[in-house]
Structure 1
Amino acid sequence: MKILLIGEYSRLHNSLKEGLVALGHEVILLSSGDYFKKFDTDYSFHSSFLSGYWLPRKIKNILHKLTGIDLEKAERGLRFYLLLPQLQNFDHVQLINSDAIETFPFFSRFLYKKLFKKIKNRSLLICGDETPVIDYLLKRETHYSILTPYFEDNSLEKHFEYPLKYTTKKYRKTFDWLVENCQDLIASDLDYKIPMEKMGYSVYFIPNPINIQKINFQEQKINDKIVVFLGINRASYIKKGIPYFEKALRIIQEKYIEKVTVIISENLPYKDYINLYYTAQIVLDQIYAEDQGYNALEAMAKGKVVFTGAGKAFMDHYNLTERINVNALPDVDYLVNELSFLIENPESIVTIGKRARAFIEREHEYVKIAIQYLEAWKKKTLL
């Protein structure tokens, strides 16, 4: 098959591409690189002119401040439009989400219509914020979610512009159009599968693909100090619960001044990010989740102990009886206690790290996951 993947926010599509290529398929990936993360892509629609030069960037910022219009969205849409003539003879196209091109919703629909005339088999991936997911979270039926800080303090609304945009009429129209024009809806973890099903959508559940050939397992060696790593993305700082980690780390640094080294990074390109956490035994990923995001899975594949989503729904789904990570909760005392246990019992870091790698190999191996995607696409194609 010749397959087109559009959009990249986490390296999910890159790893899926690698799995599909290993199975003998031809795959092309288009994306913006996702800003500072700079993910690999075959063709880019990154807004390099408006973000890469001082004067255009200054004009863009002034216009945005005065009118609310984001010219970078226009540039991304235009660059994608110019790529359309090269997107020929594909058997399948998959979008990373309904805003895969990262342009204005009306422009997205125009571009999708152009593209879909050429490619008849299509799938929409649900692997992050999306209209039904946010609709469900706004019902407040869960103990906590990425919107919990917003519910507790509405003055934080600015920090939630990105997830809340999917509930506006223009983004909802795009999502509804894609549901009608894609054969498959695929959810990548339980944080999206559960809301989609609660909102009445039928989805294939296919876990994130992790290329374990590129991620070497490191059995954790406990030296004089335990290294704890926290990577911060300012755009998702509040919704990932990073302030809880920061408060817990301040207490841990005072409590174990001779036993702990803390590394904190902020807004790093993906390749720099993974190199920086190489020496860590413990990685703090996110609060407010039931399942693991992509960074957490890659850290687990290396054998690190990751604080992330690992609630009852996750443990039950995978029939787990032993911890493969640490379920992170919005509770500073709880986080301090969990970190303290690991620091005082370093052998548990080694044990959990081994289990984490075994779990990734069993449930997330990239070629196995690529096969699941092919099977999902094929089922609908044959109907």
Structure 2
Amino acid sequence: MRILLVGEFSRLHNSLKEGLLALGHEVVTVNNGDGFKNFPADISIRARFFKSKLGNIPRQIWFRIFKYDLALLEHGIRFWMVSKKLKNFDVVQLINESPIQTVSKLELFLLKRIFKQNQKVFLLCCGIDFMTVTHLLQKKERYSVMNAYFENIPEAQKQFDYFFDFIAPPHQKIHTYLYENIRGVIASDIDYVAPLIENKKYLGILANPINTDKIVPIENIISNRIIIFLGINTGNSYKKGISYFEKALEIIQEKYSEKIEIIITKDIPYSDYQKHFEKAHILLDQVYGYDQGFNALEAMAKGKVVFTGAETEFLNHYHLHEDEVAINALADVNYLVEKLSYLIENPKEMERIGKNAIQFVRKEHHYIEQAKKYVAVWETN
């Protein structure tokens, strides 16, 4: 099959591409690199002019006056320039409801062109979109990535502005068009099942594909200090509950200063992020999750002990026990301190969890096996 993967946020499409290529399919990715993460693309629509020194000046002025980013417009223009090449694919998959990341009218225009030029189009639900925001605002879950918003934390509110873009009238037109025309929507992990479960276009959950052939496990053996790594993306720190990790680390630093080394980074490229977590024994990923995202899974495949979403729903789905493959992170500083303290004082537990994590990712997330599942869904819908 000829397959077009549009958009990228977590390296999901790049890993899926690797699995599909191994199966003999022809695959093309088109995306903007997702900002500082700088993910690769076969066809890049990254904003270059408005992120250059020359273009950044009018970009900043325009944003202050009109409150939208000209770099988004450039994404759309660059996609339009290559759109004639993006045709006659057997399958197109969109990373989410706004895979091009441009202004709404242009996004809709370009998506319509993709549908017109290709046979089957599928949608992924692996982040914020109309369905997830609508669901989260109903407060049906025990907690969610919107906790900080609901708690009216003043400095957090700006991080949630873009959530409401997905339920505003301009985006609702995109959402409606997509759900009228897609063959189906796929959830990438348990966090996205609840918003979709009653939707007639929902095709099920397909776990994140991880290229474990490229990831060399590192034995979590403690020879000196235990290294704890927290990589912060300041744009979504409240969404992930990072402040709970930061407060817990302050206590842990004081309590175990001679036994540990703490590494904290902010907004670094994905390649640099990988270098840091390779050195770490423990990785702090996110508090507000029921299942693991891409960064957590890649760290688990390395044999790290990851504090992330590993809730009861996840354990039941994969028939696992508590603390078997990861530590379920909660919005409770004392709980996080207790869990970290136990690991620091019982390093053999880190070895056990790390080995289990490697086997779990290989079994449930292997990129070729997951690619086979995607192909099966595409072929039967």
Which residue is 1:103 aligned to? 102
3-state secondary structure, aligned to 1:194: coil
Q: Is the 8 A contact 2:87 2:114 kept in 1?
A: no
Q: Is the 8 A contact 2:184 2:201 kept in 1?
A: no
1:129 and 2:128 matched: yes
Trace 1:325-344 onto structure 2 (pairs within 5 A). Answer: 325-344=326-345
1:369 and 2:370 matched: yes
Q: Could you tell me which runs of 5 or more consecutive residues in structure 2 were left unpaired when the two chains were aligned.
A: none
1:187 and 2:211 matched: no
Trace 1:139-288 onto structure 2 (pairs within 5 A). Answer: 139-153=138-152, 155=154, 156-197=156-197, 202-288=202-288
* Shift, 1:201, TM fit: 5.5
Which residue is 1:299 aligned to? 299
Which residue is 1:352 aligned to? 353
Encode CA deviations 1:258-298: one digit per residue, 9 max, x unaligned. 00100111111111110111110000000110000100000
1:289 and 2:289 matched: yes
Which region of structure 1 is more displaced relative to structure 2, 111-120 or 330-339?
Answer: 111-120
Q: Is the 8 A contact 1:29 1:41 kept in 2?
A: yes
* Shift, 1:89, TM fit: 2.4
Q: Distance in 2 between matches of 1:331 and 1:325?
A: 17
- TM-score in terms of structure 2 length: 0.97
- Whichever residue aligns with residue 148 of structure 2, its letter is P
Which residue is 1:379 aligned to? 380
* Shift, 1:88, TM fit: 3.0
Q: Could you tell me which runs of 5 or more consecutive residues in structure 1 were left unpaired when the two chains were aligned.
A: none
Which residue is 1:55 aligned to? 54
- TM-score in terms of structure 1 length: 0.97
* Shift, 1:199, TM fit: 6.3
Q: Is the 8 A contact 2:183 2:201 kept in 1?
A: no
Q: Distance in 2 between matches of 1:199 and 1:20?
A: 27
Q: Distance in 2 between matches of 1:116 and 1:203?
A: 19
1:317 and 2:317 matched: yes
3-state secondary structure, aligned to 1:196: coil
Which residue is 1:65 aligned to? 64
Distance 1:199 1:120, change over 3 A: closer
Q: Is the 8 A contact 1:197 1:203 kept in 2?
A: no
Count, aligned residues: 379
3-state secondary structure, aligned to 1:231: strand
Q: Is the 8 A contact 2:88 2:119 kept in 1?
A: no
Trace 1:113-128 onto structure 2 (pairs within 5 A). Answer: 113-128=112-127
Distance 1:198 1:154, change over 3 A: farther
* Shift, 1:203, TM fit: 3.2
Identity %: 46
Distance 1:69 1:122, change over 3 A: same
- Whichever residue aligns with residue 143 of structure 2, its letter is Y
Q: Distance in 2 between matches of 1:47 and 1:242?
A: 29
- Whichever residue aligns with residue 357 of structure 1, its letter is I
* Shift, 1:198, TM fit: 5.5
Q: Is the 8 A contact 1:193 1:203 kept in 2?
A: no
Q: Is the 8 A contact 1:184 1:376 kept in 2?
A: no
Q: Distance in 2 between matches of 1:200 and 1:84?
A: 30
* Shift, 1:154, TM fit: 5.7
Q: Distance in 2 between matches of 1:19 and 1:211?
A: 8
* Shift, 1:169, TM fit: 1.4
Q: Is the 8 A contact 2:5 2:92 kept in 1?
A: yes
Which residue is 2:74 aligned to? 75
Q: Distance in 2 between matches of 1:147 and 1:77?
A: 29
3-state secondary structure, aligned to 1:88: coil
Q: Is the 8 A contact 1:217 1:302 kept in 2?
A: yes
Q: Distance in 1 between matches of 2:225 and 2:201?
A: 48
